[in-house]
């Protein structure tokens, strides 16, 4: 015996089947996406571990030395750089005693003519300035000896 289904029942069955199909497709898509994500996470984890292992095998970098390979001052034969700077400071002092207030560049050039490097001359000026033996002009372009010490350096009477 075949019973006739009402239109409402038929429509309800069609909607139910459609919902079942769509939920099956969504579930299948979700499972596929989950597999892809797990696969990608697995590969990333392997690569990360591989990189960590590589880094662990590396030697730590050598500590960088602050000393340059090239000396800052060229020494003059048997004199150390400090001795050269000290002698040049004495020469500058005598030069300023003889010439009074002079442009700083003129002092440096005079010392360079005496076979000193520019760096040695600047270091000697710094030494004298640190010892308060120099007075600089307002703009720093010229310098002279400080008035309070005339017995700082006398060549030949060491």
Q: Give the tens place of pLDDT for each residue, 11-64.
A: 888 888 888 888 877 788 888 888 888 888 888 889 888 888 888 888 776 665
Strand intervals (E) in 40-104: 102-103
Average pLDDT, the chain: 79
DSSP state at residue 10: H
pLDDT given at position 151: 45
pLDDT band at 3 (very low <50, low <70, confident <90, very high): low
Distance set, CA 148 to CA 13, 16, 129, 135, 140 (Å): 114, 109, 14, 11, 20
8 alpha carbon, distance to own chain's centre: 79
- Residue 76: CB partners within 8 Å, gap ≥ 6? 84, 115
């Amino acid at each position: 015996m075949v019973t006739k289904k009402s239109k409402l029942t038929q429509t309800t069955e069609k909607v139910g089947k459609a919902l079942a199909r769509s939920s099956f497709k969504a579930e299948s898509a979700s499972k596929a996406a989950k597999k892809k994500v797990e696969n990608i996470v697995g590969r990333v984890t392997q690569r990360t571990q591989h990189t960590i292992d590589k880094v662990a095998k590396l030697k730590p970098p050598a500590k960088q030395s602050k000393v340059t390979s090239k000396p800052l001052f060229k020494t003059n034969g048997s004199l150390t750089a400090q001795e050269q700077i000290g002698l040049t400071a004495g020469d500058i002092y005598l030069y300023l005693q003889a010439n009074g207030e002079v442009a700083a560049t003129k002092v440096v050039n005079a010392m360079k003519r005496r076979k000193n490097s520019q760096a040695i001359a600047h270091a000697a000026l710094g030494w004298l300035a640190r010892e308060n033996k120099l007075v600089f002009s307002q703009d720093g372009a010229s310098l002279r000896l400080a008035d309070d010490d005339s017995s700082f350096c006398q060549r030949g009477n060491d």
